[in-house]
């Protein structure tokens, strides 16, 4: 595997989960693979889990790691070609990317949707420039439209906790005060559609995701209906996708907060969230603290998903 940006890059999901469980059982077995290899992690946005878990995964594989927060200490980057650079951005991405490529063997990039142009976001303009100009394998640490390391960790977690061959997985929108990207829900939908689960989505009207990610998944605008019989409840906020509200908050309806009453509608479901989560907006304290909440093991599996991806990239160098 050279680049990792979507579910398609990982190939067969059963093989990927099997490999993940092997890595998890013996995470230092491939230390030789990363010897004298350097991972460069580029962050255009904040991170707790991705930063720590990916670095840990790289260390498990014997790699060296360099982390760069582009907005703290590096030159401010112009990203638009053709701009007369007489403003406050001294360096262009078109030089910065190949320069970064000189100092490493693999590059991870975090670059969220900017909500300035839907076309730029959905064409993954930043991530694709790294793929095109770095000369290195590139993996997404959450880009504009997808967060595949998260979705892979989510899938591993569901495989570990499921008690039915084909569990019902409900992804529900929940309220949040600020506009968040669609990357996590897009990506989760993409992975769940490829996995052997009964997947449905619940969101208020006006919050339907891009049809290319929804596919033929059933979308409920009534959360209670969707939650009936759920084995996993995957909560997430996202901003509106449809024009003219792209990237906007159009509702903070707290009747969509995942509370104990909501969880009572399910088949004793596990609660999942990628984190960070705003308590008592997305989910009540009692639900996230309950024994059915698996948000911490879910976060722990980020190390495993990152390690499988890095391992496969290293094996292809």
48 binds, among ligand CP, ligand AN0, none (CB under 5 to 8 A by kind): ligand CP
Residue 5 touching ligand CP (CB under 6 A): no
Residue 274 touching ligand CP (CB under 6 A): yes
Residue 8 or 48 with smaller CB distance to ligand CP: 48
Q: Is 45 exposed, middle or buried (0-12, 13-18, 19+ CB in 10 A)?
A: middle
134 binds, among ligand CP, ligand AN0, none (CB under 5 to 8 A by kind): none
Position of minimal CB gap to ligand CP: 50
Q: Among residues 11, 90, 211, 276, which is the contact residue for ligand AN0, using CB under 6 A? A: 276
Stretch that binds ligand AN0, among 12-20, 56-64, 180-188, 300-308 (CB under 6 A): 180-188
Angstrom distances, CA of residue 134 to CA of 77, 112, 137, 213 = 15, 19, 8, 28
Q: Among residues 180, 250, 265, 281, which is the contact residue for ligand AN0, using CB under 6 A? A: 180
Site for ligand CP in 142-161 (CB under 6 A): 142, 150
Residue 135 or 276 with smaller CB distance to ligand CP: 276
Residue 265 touching ligand CP (CB under 6 A): no
Residue 50 touching ligand CP (CB under 6 A): yes
Residue 47 or 217 with smaller CB distance to ligand CP: 47
| CA of residue 87 relative to chain centroid, distance | 33
Binding residues for ligand CP, total number by CB under 6 A: 9
Stretch that binds ligand CP, among 12-20, 41-49, 222-230, 309-317 (CB under 6 A): 41-49
């Amino acid at each position: 595997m050279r680049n990792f940006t979507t579910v398609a890059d990982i190939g067969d999901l059963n093989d990927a989960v099997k490999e993940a469980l092997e890595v998890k059982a013996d995470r230092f077995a491939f230390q030789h693979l990363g010897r004298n290899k350097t991972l460069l992690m580029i962050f255009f946005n904040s991170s707790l889990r991705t930063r720590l878990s990916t670095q840990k995964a790289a260390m498990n594989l014997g790699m060296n790691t360099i982390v760069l927060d582009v907005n703290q200490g590096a030159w401010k980057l112009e990203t638009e070609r053709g701009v007369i650079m007489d403003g406050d951005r001294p360096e262009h991405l078109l030089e910065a990317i190949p320069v970064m490529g000189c100092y490493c063997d693999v590059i991870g990039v975090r670059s969220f949707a900017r909500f300035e142009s839907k076309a730029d976001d959905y064409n993954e303009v930043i991530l694709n420039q790294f793929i095109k100009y770095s000369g290195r394998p590139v993996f997404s640490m959450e880009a504009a439209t997808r967060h595949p390391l998260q979705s892979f960790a989510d899938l591993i977690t569901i495989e570990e906790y499921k008690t039915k061959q084909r569990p019902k997985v409900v992804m529900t929108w929940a309220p949040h005060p600020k506009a968040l990207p669609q990357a996590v829900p897009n990506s989760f939908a993409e992975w769940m559609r490829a996995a052997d689960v009964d997947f449905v989505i619940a969101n208020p009207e006006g919050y339907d995701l891009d049809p290319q990610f929804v596919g033929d998944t059933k979308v409920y605008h009534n959360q209670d209906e969707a939650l009936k019989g759920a084995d996993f409840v995957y909560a997430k906020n996202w901003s509106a996708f449809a024009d003219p509200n792209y990237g906007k908050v159009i509702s903070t309806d707290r009747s969509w907060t995942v509370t104990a009453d909501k969880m009572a509608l399910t088949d004793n479901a596990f609660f999942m969230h990628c984190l960070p989560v705003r308590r008592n907006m997305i989910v009540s304290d009692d639900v996230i603290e309950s024994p059915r909440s698996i948000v911490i093991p879910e976060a722990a599996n980020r190390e495993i998903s990152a390690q499988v991806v890095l391992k496969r990239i290293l094996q292809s160098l």
